[in-house]
């Protein structure tokens, strides 16, 4: 656990400005839909637990910020992970944190748009976005994800789609929502 805590401390320092100040300012391909707000470590663990992550999963984080969710998933469960992030500076931070955490063989960070990225290989999708972004993502999630894929959203529902389960995050008391893609009819 100490290695994980130090990785999060590194992520906080890097995303807090150290690496961002050293990285040339290359703007995102388009204006991000939401600003970066890191997920607290205990909430991240609650999200991974709610998703039922195992070694066999491929965890995608849409709007992955500093990469902490997929990095923690790789460290704790040994699974593979993919972060999709539109801000090139945050992608650089994520890749550095993954190197520091020694999980570059398990995680990949893609500079891309979460609305157009290929997410078809995911078995778990993590979200910490906003009500409007989640609503806009709903058709993509339903269309591209395979039956059995779990989706966990921190704090925000996905449109009018009823979640399969709702739990409270222990640390900050926010709601965590779980959906499972149903079998095709």
In this predicted model, what pLDDT tens digit does every residue of 51-74 receive, in sequence order?
999 999 999 999 999 999 999 999
Tracing tokens 């779980």 back to the chain, one arrives at 178
pLDDT, position 22: 55
Tokens of 58: 């491929």
pLDDT, position 185: 72
The answer on pLDDT for 2 being more than 80 is no
The answer on pLDDT for 9 being more than 70 is no
The answer on pLDDT for 14 being more than 70 is no
The answer on pLDDT for 5 being more than 50 is no
- 34 falls in which pLDDT band (50, 70, 90)? confident
Q: Which pTM value belongs to this model?
A: 0.86
- What are 118-139's pLDDT values in tens digits? 999 999 999 999 999 999 999 9
In 3-state terms, what secondary structure has residue 181?
A: coil
Quick one: three-class SS letters along 20-75?
HHHCCCCCCCCCCCCCCCCCCHHHHHHHHHHHCCCCCCEEEEECCCCCHHHHHHHH
Each domain of the chain, given as residue ranges in start order, spans 2-180
Four-CA torsion 156, 157, 158, 161, nearest 10 degrees: 180
Statement: 2-180 belongs to CATH 3.40.50.150:
yes
Average pLDDT over residues 12-29: 56
- 26 falls in which pLDDT band (50, 70, 90)? confident
Top-confidence residue, 19 or 87: 87
- 32 falls in which pLDDT band (50, 70, 90)? low
């Amino acid at each position: 656990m100490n290695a994980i805590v130090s990785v999060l401390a590194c992520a906080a320092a890097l995303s807090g400005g150290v690496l961002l100040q050293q990285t040339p300012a290359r703007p995102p391909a388009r204006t991000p839909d939401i600003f970066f707000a890191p997920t607290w470590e205990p909430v991240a663990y609650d999200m991974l637990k709610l998703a039922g992550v195992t070694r066999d999963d491929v965890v995608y984080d849409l709007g992955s910020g500093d990469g902490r969710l997929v990095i923690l998933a790789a460290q704790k469960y040994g699974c593979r992970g993919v972060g999709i992030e539109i801000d090139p500076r945050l992608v650089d931070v994520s890749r550095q944190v993954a190197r520091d955490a020694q999980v570059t063989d398990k995680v990949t960070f893609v500079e891309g748009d979460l609305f157009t990225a290929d997410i078809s290989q995911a078995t778990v999708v993590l979200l910490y976005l906003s009500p409007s972004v989640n609503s806009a993502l709903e058709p993509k999630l339903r269309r591209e994800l395979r039956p059995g894929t779990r989706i966990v959203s921190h704090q925000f529902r996905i449109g009018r789609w009823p979640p399969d389960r709702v739990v409270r995050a222990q640390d900050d008391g926010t709601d965590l929502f779980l959906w499972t893609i149903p079998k095709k009819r």
